[in-house]
Chains A and B, each alone.
Chain A
Amino acid sequence: MSDPTLLEIRNLGKRFPARHGREPSPWVIQDLSFSVGTGEFLTIIGPSGAGKSTLLNMIAQIDTASAGEIVFNGETVNSHDARMLRPGFDRRIGYVTQDDNLLPWRTTIDNVLFPIEVQGRLNDETRAQADVLVRAVGLAGFERYYPHELSGGMRKRAALIRTLAYDPPVILMDEPFAAVDAQTRTQLQADLLTLWGLGRKTIIFVTHDITEAIALGDRALVLSRQPTRIAAEHAIPIPRPRNVQDIFALEGFAAVYQRIRSDIQ
């Protein structure tokens, strides 16, 4: 699955700078290395406070790294200096955050089209592609609604397809389904797998939910806490397409689940 390496994280470290006479913080993330192949669905499991969002923020280039480097397709991203940051790394890294961050003054369809619009690629073709995504996640009929008129699950779907619509080669996802109820979450996971099956993007999906990490990923990394390091790595030997609803019953699930849980403890 992980053919050519697309994104490589090398000895990445993060500590927050000294401030108001305080010492610099201890290392939050230290000596973290892993790589992601083209088209791979990588999940990262870590307990709360394990620096998962900080890790994704550094990869997305909205936060600086204190040590190490990030290599994208052979190109080294030097991000020790905040002024050198290139958020989204020139549209090559999409980021679905925990909050949906929909623009409240834009309707569903205008939110989905926002990246395409600022990239100057708005035309009949891109509109049609966005329409396909809107229908695929069940938002048809809600195109002209404002975010406050949508349910939490619908807002998540809109935020998800906003990133998919402009087609960045890598997508980071930071517990995007954490704040919705269990049933909606299962539905959103199934939607995500369907959409991923269409385009096979490279996805790094961060979660604290072991079941979610197994249901979605090709491979799962387990993070330790304070400082954050990679504690273990597991291939997920469950064949696709997977039925997210019955994931517990699938062969191989129980074994992987047990191993990941013991790693976390």
Chain B
Amino acid sequence: MTRWRTYTDRLIVLAVILAAWQVGSFLVGPYWLSSPWAVAARFTAQILNGELIVQGGYTVEEALIGTVIGGVPAVLLPFLLRRHPVIVAILDPFMVGGYGAPKLAFAPLFILWFGIGIESKIALVASVVFFIVYFNTLAGVRALDPRLVQMAQIAGAGERHVARHIVLPAAVPHILAGFRIAVPYAIGGAVIAELISSNRGLGYLVQTGAMNFDTTSVFAAILAATLIVHGANWLLNAAERALLRWRPPPRAVLETGT
């Protein structure tokens, strides 16, 4: 009941946004702001002729590889350093610096170092994802209830058992939350790196569209990137449902759906 109500209300919000966009487009002229109808038509055509699928595929590939390269060490590091708080403390200002530095400003450097191919995009995505996931995993490892560790040690668990059966499961919700935050940045990072220098990907479509004063094509590429983020989020929700069955259901407030 409430579930369907949520969906219908979402449709109403969508209709309002589209209507406002349409009116805006009419007022300033389609040359400056393409209309939703034209974007939908262009989007469908570019899906059907495969253009968006191929270019979107490149962007997804860059974002995915970069997320793995940045995310895996970001998850492992807090676990390896769990018993060495001094090292964590030494690294902390550098990690905070790495987290705070505007990574997108590094894009030209990455292109200089790694070329205009896929490597520079992966490097940018990895550098963005790493710090977000690192700090979330670290928070998860730190939020561990020490009483559970003591219980396990008394029961005869060694260091490896504690890491595997206590620390890891307790950190999983934090790790998933980290990836949930990181994924839009990963797609966004890949698109921006393509924008700066590339001959393929959604960022390339945005760039060529803008050069040709073709706002319809720019919006179609942005729509594709947005839908990719939605899809990734949906996958993360599915992973969360599978991995966190043990958690009490959230006290039904909001549907944080797909």
Contacts and interface: CB of A to CB of B under 8 A. Distances in A.
Interface residues of A, number: 25
A114 B154 contact: no
Given A103-B165, A103-B166, A104-B247, A118 B156 contact: yes
Contacts of A60: 154
B153 A87 contact: yes
Contacts, number: 61
A73 interface: no
Interface string A220-242: 00000000000000000000000
B161 interface: yes
Given A97-B151, A118-B157, A148 B248 contact: yes
B246 interface: yes
Q: Tell me whether chain A's interface is mostly helix, strand or loop, or mixed.
A: loop
B100 interface: no
Contact of B161 (A104, A105, A118): A118
B152 A146 contact: no
Given A88-B156, A104-B246, A114 B165 contact: yes
Nearest to A146: B246
Interface string A136-176: 00000000001010000000000000110010000000000
A118 B147 contact: no
A183 interface: no
Given A94-B155, A103-B169, A146-B245, 16 more contacts: A87-B154, A88-B153, A91-B155, A95-B151, A95-B154, A97-B147, A104-B247, A105-B169, A105-B246, A114-B155, A118-B155, A118-B165, A148-B247, A148-B248, A163-B155, A166-B156
21 contacts: A60-B154, A62-B153, A88-B153, A88-B154, A88-B155, A88-B156, A91-B156, A95-B151, A95-B154, A99-B147, A101-B150, A103-B166, A103-B169, A115-B157, A118-B152, A118-B157, A118-B158, A119-B156, A146-B246, A148-B248, A162-B155
Interface of A: 60, 62, 87-88, 90-91, 93-95, 97, 99, 101, 103-106, 114-115, 118-119, 146, 148, 162-163, 166
